[in-house]
Amino acid sequence: MAAASMIRSVFKKELFSGKVAIVTGGATGLGRAITEELSSLGCKVVIASRRLENLEKAAQEINEAIPISLRPRVFPYQCNIRNEEQVKSLMKYTIDTHGALDYLVNNGGGQFASPAISAKGWLAVVETNLTGTFYCCKHAYNEWMAGHGGAIVNIIADMYKGFPNMAHTGAARAGVQNLMMSLALEWADCGIRINCVSPGIIYSETAAKNYGGRHVFDEGLHIIPAKRLGIPEEVSGAVCFLLSPAASYITGTTIKVDGGQSFYRSPFTIPEHNSFPPPLEDPELNSKL
């Protein structure tokens, strides 16, 4: 956010002291808010995404807000989560440099809106959001969490009524939610908790830019019972809660941070038509249905 948020962390200072986290997409939007809150609570955070320049700038800015004696707490690392080798290197770097990997936040991702998705576009979005999350979970588990436990949070999206015009991301996010449930069971015996946070429409400058402007977000206002957009700090609090000891008995679940949007109306309008097959023999009766 360009404007200062009124939301301050509700968690105690040093809640995450001595802990190490990876936040993918941690330089912008939701990921940045999560990184700011985790690092302000004592956590070392490796932020990982494709654009190194962005990551370096964000790390510098966030570190500057931390008392000099406690810096640095945020570390940039270039990684495309679609590339399994790069994901493996991210995990190794984090553990070799910082000695642990307590938390993983799978936030990096995105999509584009289109009613006609090409095969290449479909693969790009599924590989980013579903396969990228799978790679990150798998290698966090292999490299550290299988032997030490840990907590994972995946950021998904409001896809509960389908996701017309963004079918690729709807399918990918539903896949991430189901993956989360499988892993919560498979990895429970290692002391790994894994959950999802499902944001509604959360305004950030970078997200809006990706959609060609703020108007795209404002167009969603009529489907939000809260009658306003969310901000990244409102998502961050839920992520920090799920990582914290306050959530020590919570695994395999999803927290929706969406102002009630997910159980309210769909943004999608179906054109008038009579294309469905008639159920009755009498055409006149059919016309009355």
Ligand X SMILES: CCC/C=C/C(=O)SCCNC(=O)CCNC(=O)[C@H](O)C(C)(C)COP(=O)([O-])OP(=O)([O-])OC[C@H]1O[C@@H](n2cnc3c(N)ncnc32)[C@H](O)[C@@H]1OP(=O)([O-])[O-]
- Phi-psi domain of 191 (left: phi exceeds 0; alpha: psi -120 through 50; beta: other): left
Q: Give whole-number Cα distances, 97 to 2, 47, 251, in Å.
A: 32, 14, 28
Beta-bridged to residue 150, according to DSSP, are 192
Separation of alpha carbons 45 and 286, rounded Å: 62
The least distance separating ligand X from the CB of residue 168, rounded to whole angstroms, comes to: 8
Tokens 């949007």 belong to 261
Q: Binding marks (x or -) toward ligand NDP, 62..81, rule CB under 6 A?
A: -----------------xxx
Q: Binding marks (x or -) toward ligand X, 186..205, rule CB under 6 A?
A: ---------------x----
Beta-bridged to residue 47, according to DSSP, are 23, 76
Choose among ligand NDP, ligand X, none what residue 49 binds, the Cβ cut-off being 5 to 8 Å by kind. Answer: ligand NDP
| Binders of ligand X in range 204-243 (CB under 6 A) | 207, 210-211, 216-217, 220
From 67-75, 92-100, 200-208, 273-281, span contacting ligand NDP (CB under 6 A): 200-208
- Asked if 61 contacts 35 with a C-beta cutoff of 8 angstroms, the reply is no
- Asked if 163 contacts 115 with a C-beta cutoff of 8 angstroms, the reply is no
Q: Binding marks (x or -) toward ligand X, 98..137, rule CB under 6 A?
A: ------------xxx-x---x-xx--xx--x---------
The least distance separating ligand X from the CB of residue 150, rounded to whole angstroms, comes to: 25
Q: Which residue type does 149 have?
A: G
Tokens 């839920």 belong to 238
Of the pair 24, 251, the CB lying nearest ligand NDP is at: 24
Which of 15, 101, 125, 157: binder of ligand NDP (CB under 6 A)? 157
- Asked if 101 contacts 150 with a C-beta cutoff of 8 angstroms, the reply is yes
Which two three-digit tokens encode residue 178?
């189901």
Of the pair 128, 177, the CB lying nearest ligand X is at: 128
Of the pair 24, 195, the CB lying nearest ligand NDP is at: 24
Which of 22, 105, 194, 202: binder of ligand NDP (CB under 6 A)? 202
- Asked if 158 contacts 235 with a C-beta cutoff of 8 angstroms, the reply is no
Separation of alpha carbons 134 and 82, rounded Å: 10
Coil/strand/helix, residue 157: coil
Coil/strand/helix, residue 254: strand
Separation of alpha carbons 148 and 45, rounded Å: 18
Rg of the Cα trace of the chain? 21
Choose among ligand NDP, ligand X, none what residue 120 binds, the Cβ cut-off being 5 to 8 Å by kind. Answer: ligand X
Of the pair 109, 237, the CB lying nearest ligand NDP is at: 109
By the rule CB under 6 A, 49 interacts with ligand NDP? yes
Which of 1, 50, 164, 191: binder of ligand NDP (CB under 6 A)? 50
> Which residues form the interface with ligand NDP (CB under 6 A)?
24-25, 27-31, 49-51, 54, 79-82, 107-110, 128, 132, 155, 157, 199, 201-202, 204, 206-207, 210
> Which residues form the interface with ligand X (CB under 6 A)?
110-112, 114, 118, 120-121, 124-125, 128, 201, 207, 210-211, 216-217, 220
